A and B are shown apart, each in its own frame.
Chain A
Amino acid sequence: MKLTIASGKGGTGKTTFSTNLAMYLAEQYKVVLTDLDVEEPNSGLFVHGRQTHQQDMFKMIPEWDKNVCTLCGNCQQLCSYHAVMKLGSQVMVFPELCHGCYACSELCPAHALPMHQIKMGELRQYRAGNLDFIDSRLDVGQEQAVPLIAQTLDYVERNFDTAYLKLYDAPPGTTCPVIKATQDADLVILITEPTPFGLHDLKLAIETMRELEKDFVVVVNRFGIGNDDVLRYCEKEGIIVLAKLPNDRHIAELYSRGELVYPHIPEFAEQLRLIGDFIMSQQGMQS
């Protein structure tokens, strides 16, 4: 089963939640957690594992061959991203701006822009207790998150069979990378806070999930602060609120030190148990 954890905005405790849930479930089941927030993956700060694998991740960009180029400037006209530019008697390629569409390369009359691979980031795999944990990180300056997310998803699918519960930690927001991260999920857990900001961003996330026709449930973090509007909204919309994680200054302190929460806070562990039961009942229905 594939399960993606997403949130409308950053800072709702998504990383805290997904790392704790993964470690908790891994005590009983085969679980692999993947951090898809490739611009800023920091689940690794909370899952203290031993690295078992590392690989460079590549994307395809054109490379200028000055020996055959006729300087016609066709490539620059073709590129929608300003990633190829004719400058006097040379052609420059900006790897960070290139989306890898191949247009300049395949339509170059002189075949002067063959595609070749360049490194865009790194994938790392760790083992922490029973948990397999994977994160991918874009190199600084790289802007295209989607290709790295897609390749990371492929890696997980290839290396972990269906016996695994696959948890994916999506980037925050409702933009293309988030859509990519949720595209293949059987279920999406939306994490939010019971505040006006939380509700506002939750509504955007729900709108996106509905457009994608995804099954989703809600987990409320920092329950006890704010007001009941999130719960009321979910009730009205018939959305399952799977768990309410407690609000506790102690949790913020544990987070600040990169420690897991549930071993220290029984209430938190209890909520994870509820979520685990639900996931396993879904898994049962699936198979």
Chain B
Amino acid sequence: MKIAFTAKGTGWDSPIDPRLGRTEYILLYDEDKDELSVTDNREIEGVAHGAGPKTAQLLFDINPDVLITGNGPGDNAAVVLKQIPMKIYVGAGELTVKTALEAYKNNELKEF
């Protein structure tokens, strides 16, 4: 299974970025290979409008099974996310990537 995280850094101890559209990085944990890969999304800072769907498009390309984030998506991002066969869990805004994964495993996160 592949689990994606919106994050403010590139490692397991990085805090989750609670924002979906304007997240700085997207981390992808591939459980089968036990690998963590990084997609840099920092150029989103330069986008005045439409950050949500743009980041959602990136997630479409990454195509994870699960997304863990803080806030839910806005309307436009949600339209794109619907096209991805992926479950979204919110409420991890104050955790690190590592603790968010644990919280997810323990069913402590809320499905969006």
Contact = CB atoms under 8 A, between A and B. Distances in A.
A and B touch in the complex (CB under 8 A): yes
Interface of A: 81-83, 85, 87-88, 90, 92, 94, 96-97, 141, 143
Contacts of A82: 47, 49-51, 53-54
A103 to B, nearest CB: 15
A252 B83 CA distance: 50
B37 interface: no
B57 A97 contact: no
B50 A94 contact: yes
A282 B47 CA distance: 46
Interface in B42-81: 47, 49-51, 53-54, 57, 60, 75-76, 79-80
A171 B53 CA distance: 28
A239 B57 CA distance: 52
Contacts of A87: 57, 60, 80, 83
B12 to A, nearest CB: 30
Contacts of B47: 82
Given A85-B53, A87-B80, A92-B83, 11 more contacts: A82-B49, A82-B51, A82-B54, A83-B50, A85-B80, A87-B57, A87-B60, A94-B76, A96-B75, A97-B53, A143-B49
Given A92-B80, A96-B76, A85 B57 contact: yes
Given A82-B49, A82-B53, A85-B53, A141 B80 contact: no
14 contacts: A81-B50, A82-B50, A82-B54, A85-B53, A85-B54, A87-B80, A88-B60, A92-B83, A94-B76, A94-B79, A96-B75, A97-B49, A97-B53, A97-B76
Given A87-B83, A88-B60, A141-B75, A94 B53 contact: yes
A88 B83 contact: yes
A131 to B, nearest CB: 37
B47 to A, nearest CB: 7
A98 B49 CA distance: 10
Interface of B: 47, 49-51, 53-54, 57, 60, 75-76, 79-80, 83
Contact of B50 (A88, A90, A97, A141): A97
Nearest to B47: A82
Contacts of B57: 85, 87
Q: Which 3 pairs, one residue from A and one from B, show the smallest C-beta to C-beta distance?
A: A82-B50, A97-B50, A82-B54
Contacts of B79: 92, 94
B49 A81 contact: yes
A96 B50 CA distance: 9
A127 B76 CA distance: 38
B56 to A, nearest CB: 9
Nearest to B83: A87
Nearest to A95: B76
Contacts of A141: 75
Contacts of A96: 75-76
A97 B51 CA distance: 11
A120 B76 CA distance: 16
A101 to B, nearest CB: 14
Nearest to A90: B83
Contacts of A90: 83
A143 to B, nearest CB: 8
Contacts of A81: 49-50
A87 B51 CA distance: 16
Nearest to B50: A82
A96 B75 CA distance: 10
